[in-house]
Chains A and B, each alone.
Chain A
Amino acid sequence: MSLFLKQLGWELFRMFARKRTYIGFGVFVAVELVIYTLLTLDRSERNMERWIERVAGGFDHYFSALTLAFMIVAFTMLLLGAVFVSLVTGDIVAKETEDGNLRLLLVRPVSRFRLLLVKFLACQLYAIALFWFVGLTAFLVGLTERGWGGGMFVWTPELPRVSIFEWNEGLFRYFLAVTAFVIAYLPITGIAFALSCLKIKPAAATIVTIAYILADSILSKIPLPIFEDYQHWFITPKMQSWALLLYQDIPWPRVLESWMWLVGFGVTGFVVGWVIFERRDVKS
């Protein structure tokens, strides 16, 4: 076990030693700042004020650092989350195979399963770091603008109505939702990883993953009877499970059901990738 952790540690060290990693993080910060700017424009604030006053009352109380951070995170993840996660995971095997780095690892006395497991888990830990980074930076932006304290006002299309929390509960829910992004994005890491194990260009793994997620998202929203019987096969609605954690009363059975689907999808992606890679000849 300690050897496995050591291997995982070095894999993470390698991932975080890349300049590209920080460029990616920088892009997230840039997008967060753009969204923050848009949300704090006079017109946007006036609209928010009207809405909060009508639904919850007390704009100054509920338009807090947490509310602002939540909106920044939700929009940023919508814009960049899937792209960035599929980019990192799609690269993990395909790019290293293409560059030849993997050849140096595969001549070592280590099974392909173990090597892939180390890489897959490193991707998950990387995703946790990224989501927490996004969550923390958005929170810091919110704190800078609105200061500590107040309530939290939340609404997403997945919620039946708005949720309102006081500061401590809101803080807990906010970071719980941010952490839950890891499970929500497991299908993306699973698909990108499986594709990455094929003999294809790294960019192809990323593009196909994004195309799949996009198609799934569009098809799941088409209100045609033809899709009614297949609704449970669409994965993107289940990826919104992070928002369920922001319900006034968390619907745990629904959350757990979604998580099981998401974990199942992610693990299936890993197993498919492993089976593909296990049978492959690795040679330029």
Chain B
Amino acid sequence: MLTASGLKKRFDRKAPPALDDVSFAVDEGEIYGLLGHNGAGKSTALGIMLGMVYPDAGEIVIGGKSVQREREAALSQVGAIFEAPAFYEYLSGWQNLKVLTAFSGGVDRATMEEVVEWVGLTRRIRHRVGTYSHGMRQRLALAQALLPKPKVLILDEPTDGLDPEGIVEFREQLFELREQSGVTILLSSHLLAEVEQVCDRVAILQAGRKVYEGGTRGLGGEGQLHRIEVESDADREKTRALAAAHSAVPGPGDDLFVLPPDADAATFLAELVKAGVRVKQFVRLESTLEDLYLEVSQIRRERGPESKSPSA
């Protein structure tokens, strides 16, 4: 439904690239997360998706239409919140929606009322936006993104500044949206817990590069993620050979291995010792998205900017 291929962007010749050869694909009906710390390149990627930022190289295709070559056709399928939504404060929520939707060809009153009710703003929609709380502004932002009904929703830090109750409500709304209308959702966030609970897959960006793409269950996926630190390179070679024999796969770091879900880790450790491998550390890692994120970030820092992106 949405494909990003080879995105490159450098805002300043002297500064490092904001995006460096980033590619990913989002399937129809999927909720896909772009993760990364501030300045990782998430907003730049979203800006390119929405035709707000021109890439130096690469292309975004949404529903078969290139944003760079057929911007209007591509964006006619998209609803978006890009960066902090800034409405006209002196207009009511309803008037803001009218102004914005006029640039999408207009939306009939019934549809607008339906969406406003769905986001829970009916009571305050005729009030000036200047009197809205942050949560109400986010609801209005979601409402404008849903008008007219899009096939793809692109949301930049959508829960930023929301209270826990608002975050939970927002999450439920996203699930409901997908269930009801099969909408494809791409969201960026630096809130790992949120992404873990909402997204089917994630891409982690760091310093403009994609350093991970895969499920949100962590590096190990369904398997058991272990950190196995050994004494020497020879020991590491032996470990790899034995791991392969146990159907374990290496993780993105030299010391990370994913054992199959039903593997007996104690037996594997015993075999390593029996084979003469000097094991310094053998630890089962709790593989949450946070671990994954921190692990991948750590690996990235250790390897430096020229390293290849590991993919799951």
Contacts and interface: CB of A to CB of B under 8 A. Distances in A.
A104 B144 contact: yes
A94 B43 CA distance: 21
A225 B72 CA distance: 54
Nearest to B154: A107
A284 B83 contact: yes
A104 B87 contact: yes
Given A109-B76, A110-B72, A104 B53 contact: no
A18 B90 contact: yes
Nearest to A103: B82
Given A14-B88, A100-B84, A100-B85, A107 B102 contact: no
B95 interface: yes
B99 interface: yes
Given A3-B105, A6-B102, A107-B78, A283 B47 contact: yes
B260 interface: no
Contacts of B54: 279, 281
Contacts, number: 92
A209 to B, nearest CB: 24
B86 interface: yes
Contact of B86 (A9, A101, A283): A101
A268 B257 CA distance: 64
A249 interface: no
B50 interface: yes
B104 to A, nearest CB: 5
A105 B100 contact: yes
B53 A7 contact: no
A101 B74 CA distance: 21
Given A104-B144, A108-B104, A283-B52, 4 more contacts: A14-B91, A14-B99, A109-B71, A283-B43
11 contacts: A3-B105, A10-B99, A103-B83, A104-B86, A104-B87, A107-B50, A110-B103, A111-B72, A281-B52, A281-B54, A284-B84
Interface of B: 11, 43-44, 47, 50-54, 71-76, 78, 80, 82-88, 90-91, 95, 98-100, 102-106, 144, 154
Interface of A: 3, 6-7, 9-11, 13-14, 17-19, 99-101, 103-111, 115, 279, 281-284
